[in-house]
Amino acid sequence: MSFDYIIVGAGSAGCVLAHRLSEKPNTRVLLLEAGGRDWNPFIHMPAGLAKLAQFGSVNWGYYTEPEAALGERRLYWPRGKVLGGSSSINAMCYIRGHAADYDAWARAGNPGWSFKQLLPYFRRAEHHVNGEDKWHGGSGPLCVENLAHHNPLSDVFIEAAITAGHPPNTDFNAGQQLGFGLYQVNQKHHRRCSTASSYLKQARGRSNLVIRTGALTERLCLDGTRVSGVHYRRRGKLYTAHATQDTILCGGAINSPQLLMLSGIGPVRDLHQHGIRGIVDLPGVGQNLQDHLDICLIDRARSNITYDHTNDVMIALNYWLLRRGIGTSNVAEAGGFACSRFAKTTRPDLQFHFVPAQLDDHGRNRLPGSGYTVHVCNLQPQSRGSITLRNDDPRRAPLIRPNYLHKKRDLDVMLHGIGIAREILASKPFAEFREFELFPGADCKTPEALTAFIRRRAETIYHPVGTCKMGKDPAAVVDHELRVHGVDALRVVDASIMPTLVCGNTNAPTIAIAEKAADMILARGQETRGAAENKAA
C-alpha cells in the first residue's frame, strides 16, 4: 500500500490532520488507530465520561512506575484508545492556556509559535456558540458551547470564589485567564464534540482517505535515515504501508516516543539494552515529560443536591430522548485560575475544577453520602520525568516516570492552592450546603500534614506533554516545523512536542498544533512535488 502521508494515531491531532490533508483530492492519506470506532454511547453523552474509566476498550489504561514522592504509588493514567483519542474520553473543557505559554516557546528558538501566530489556528478550528470575534472562530469543525445543564452548586462555587476575592470570568479564552466561572465545553447540540465526531466525520467519505482501526503500528520503515512508511499489525497480520511524503506520529506523549525508540530513534545507549539497533541518536526522545499533578478536596453535603446518587437510567432516557438534563453535563462544570504567592506575573500557576459530586480515584471509588469536590492543580510544574522502553515489544506499555514533586517548588504551589480552595469552600455561600470536610479533613492543618495528604492522594489530571520536545537545543526532538532531527520524512504532531506545559487543559492546544502542522506539511508537499515535476521536465 502506498500513500502520500501516513498518520499514526487518530486522536486529538491525528483526526485534524486526516481531515486537513485529505481535503486535497489528489493527496492519498492513511490514518492508523490502535483502538476501535467511537461507538460506545457513553462517549457521546457528555456525563458518560464518568463511566468511561470502566471500559478498557476505549482506554490504554496506563500506570506509572512507583513514584518516590507519592508514597511509591503507581498512578493511573487513562489515555484515549479510540477514534478521537483522549478528546473522546476527556471532560471537554475548552481552554487554550495563557498567551505567555506560547510566547515562551517562540523565545526558546521556535519561530512561528507565539500566541499571536497561533491564534489564527485556534480560531480556524473553532465554531463558537457566540460566533466569530477577535478571539473566537465561528465556522470551524470544533464546536464550543455553554453547558446546557449545570448543578446549582456550581453557581455557589463561583459565588464563593468571588466572595473570597477572586474576579468573575465568563470566558477564559478571551484575553484574561484569571478568575472563576463556568467552563465552556466541546459539545455540539449538547453531544460530545471530539475530533472524531467533528474533523474526521467530515473526512470519512473521501476516497483518498483510508482509515484503519485496530491497527497497532509496531515500527517505522527506515531507508538509512529516511522514513519510508510503517509496519503495523491488524487482526493478527503484519502489514507494511509506504509513504511518498511524510509519516506523521500523532500518538501523544506516551506512544509517539515509544514508537520512535522501537524504531531505533532515540538514546542509542538505552536502545542497545533492549536489542534495538540505534539508527539516529536522539537523547531527548522520551525525556522532558511534564504533567499537571492534581489534588482533590471533598466536602460532605447536607442534602442530596449533588450528582452522587442520581438515577442513571432516568438520566440516560432524558438525555437520549430529549437531549437535556444531567446527561449534558461535563461534570467538571465550573472552575477558575489563580496565582499562588510564588507566581512572578499574572500568568496563573493554579487551576481549579469544581465537581458537584464526590470524586475519588478518578471516579472509580464510589463514596457513601453526598458531597462536592474541588480539584487543585499546579499549572507550571518544574519537575521533569521520562518515558522509556520496558522492552522491544510494541504491545507492552513503556515505563512512565513522571517524577512528580521532584522540585520543592511544585509542592509549595500545591500547598498554597489547597489554602485557596479551602478559603473558597469555607466562605458564606457554601454555609447552607456544607456539613464537614471529608478530605483532607478538619484535623489536617499543618504544612506537614497537608504534605502527607498530597503524597497519599494526589493524581494526574491527564495532561502529559513534552517527550518529543520542539526546539534547537541538544534535548530537542523536533524542529519548529515538527520534523524529527536527523531523520527525513518524519514528523511528530501531538502534545509531546510542547517544550513546556500550557497553563490549562491541553486538548485545545493540541488541536491548534495540528492545524498549524497541516499548513506546514501541505506547503512542504507542494514544494517537493514542484521540484519533482521540474526535475522530470
Helices H / strands E in the chain, number of each: 13, 26
- Nearest CA to 35 out of 86, 90, 93 is that of 86
DSSP state of 34: S
> 483532607: which residue's cell?
440
Instruction: Determine the Cα–Cα distance for residues 271 and 263; give it in Å rounded to an integer.
Output: 9
> 471533598: which residue's cell?
298
In 5-48, alpha helices (H): 14-22, 41-44
The DSSP annotation for 311-360 comes to -HHHHHHHHHHHS-SGGG--S--EEEEE--TT-SSSS--EEEEEESS---
Instruction: Determine the Cα–Cα distance for residues 38 and 48; give it in Å rounded to an integer.
Output: 13
Grid coordinates belonging to 480? 519548529
Note whether 3 and 210 are within 8 A (CB).
yes
Grid coordinates belonging to 48? 458518560
Instruction: Determine the Cα–Cα distance for residues 269 and 188; give it in Å rounded to an integer.
Output: 48
- Nearest CA to 466 out of 195, 263, 247, 254 is that of 254
> 492556556: which residue's cell?
97
In the set 98, 149, 463, 480, the catalytic residue is 463
Check if 362 is active-site. Answer: no
Three-class SS of residue 188?
strand
Catalytic (active-site) positions = 463
